[in-house]
Structure 1
Amino acid sequence: ARDAEVLARCGVIASMQPHFDAEWGGEGDLYDARLGKARAATLNDFAMLAKTGVALSFSSDAPVTPIDPWSTIRAAVHHHQPTNAISARGAFAAATRGGWRAGGINDGLTGTLTPGAPASYAVWEVDDLVVAGSHEKVQRWSTDPRSRVPALPDVSPGADLPRCVRTVHRGQVLYDRDAG
């Protein structure tokens, strides 16, 4: 945590791959077997980094882990060490705006869907949208419709994750599932 505070003061952006924890972080998995339980429990501590002010950027590290942003978000939210997990909203920000910021673009628009922002986005087919707080106390107010917290796809284990329908970069369609 002390090192994380230094990283935060220096403005470091942590480029992390939550799939690593999902693939190798559980009891008896690779980290546990190679590094031991005590060290494995400290790896990929997204919550600690976020709490100390380190900006997060999530990616896949393909081809080591799949390019699948919603399962990346799921992995960050459902870390094998619950205290290391972050909220779906925080994981979504790290998987979207975080990547732009890590690439040196921090103009307040890029990576958001707001008027005036570059038109780079993905369209997803989603089964269920939910509003979920990161903690039981937050859950009580954030799920109240009056809080106006936008819903996100359900990333709980076992839920069907969104499917990509279209990607657009700077107004140009790169992928269209229905185009044939």
Structure 2
Amino acid sequence: GGPALAARGHRLEHVESLTVAQAEVLARYGVIASMQPSFDALWGGPDGMYAQRLGADRAAALNAFAPLAATGLALAFGSDAPVTAPRPWPMLRAAVHHRTEGSGISPRAAFAAATRGAWRAGGVRDGMAGTLDPGAPASYAIWEVGELVVSAPKDSVQRWSTDPRSRVAPLPDLTPGTADPVLVRSVHRGRVVYAR
């Protein structure tokens, strides 16, 4: 049955051409969609490789993050290295500024898919991994960043306040053309794995 299947935490890799109806079924069964936002940045859009090889209509429906997430389907983002560079900020920027109108998701949703979503897709479902909370595994990265902002994609409904008093956590500015944050240190389960 559905609950037993959902408890298994299945995931599908390289989810690119999924319809909303298919996403609704997968969401009911707790399937996680592992996706690569950089694919849209590299090959999406009306003149990209997807449109050239699949046609503009099919290409426009690929990697539709917002419509899929709206069904309740859990998203997990990754790079598929070495196909695309394992650089998180351009990946998040690609998810937010999708080349098809209406398919981009908020920076917060993209960040969650790349952190908590990735942990869940990897089989860690303790409710804490991918967060910075007391008692959570000490796995994190420290970034040198310019301005922090609270924003939403231009083509979506904003579901939270951007007023600083609302205490919504800001993220680096993901506007196209902005500089990527620079990694200073990364720690996995309490052990430093990189230090600049």
Give me the TM-score of the superposition, normalised by structure 2: 0.87
Is 1:68 matched up with 2:68?
no
What residue in structure 1 maps to residue 136 of structure 2? Answer: 117
Pair 1:8-2:15 in alignment: no
Q: Which residue number in structure 1 is paired with residue 124 of structure 2?
A: 105
> Which residue does 1:151 correspond to in 2?
170
Alpha-carbon contact 1:133-1:142 (below 8 Å) kept: no
- Displacement, 1:146? 2.4
2:17 is aligned to none
Task: Confirm or deny: 8 A CA contact 1:97 1:112 kept in the other structure.
Answer: yes
> Gapped runs of 5+ residues in structure 2?
1-19
1:19 to 38, 48, 68: 38
Give the gaps of 5 or more residues in structure 1.
none
CA distance in 2, matches of 1:3, 1:42: 13
Do residues 132 (structure 1) and 151 (structure 2) align? yes
* 1:163 partnered with 2:182: yes
Amino acid at match of 2:158: V
Q: CA deviation at 1:138?
A: 2.3
Structure with greater helix share of residues: 1
User: 1:17 & 1:147 partners in 2: Cα distance?
Assistant: 31
Q: Give the aligned residue type for 1:34.
A: R
Rounded to whole Å, the distance in 2 between the matches of 1:75 and 1:57 is: 14
What is the CA RMSD across the aligned residues, in angstroms?
1.3
Q: Residue 138 of structure 1 aligns to a residue in which SS?
A: coil
| Paired position in structure 2 for 1:90 | 109
2:14 maps to: none
Q: Deviations over 1:123-144 (max 9, x none)?
A: 10101100113467527x5211
Q: Percent identity?
A: 63
Q: For 1:21 and 1:134, locate their aligned partners in 2 and report how far apart those are by CA, in whole Å.
A: 16
| Residue deviations 1:36-68 (CA, integer Å, cap 9, x gap) | 000000000000110001000000000000000
Distance 1:21 1:133 in 2: 19
Q: Distance in 2 between matches of 1:90 and 1:102?
A: 15
- Aligned-partner Cα distance in 2 for 1:132–1:28: 28
> Letter of the aligned partner of 1:15 in structure 2?
S
What is the TM-score of this pair, normalised by structure 1? Answer: 0.94
Tell me: CA distance 1:14–1:137, structure 2 relative to 1, closer, same or farther (3 Å): closer
2:75 counterpart of 1:56: yes
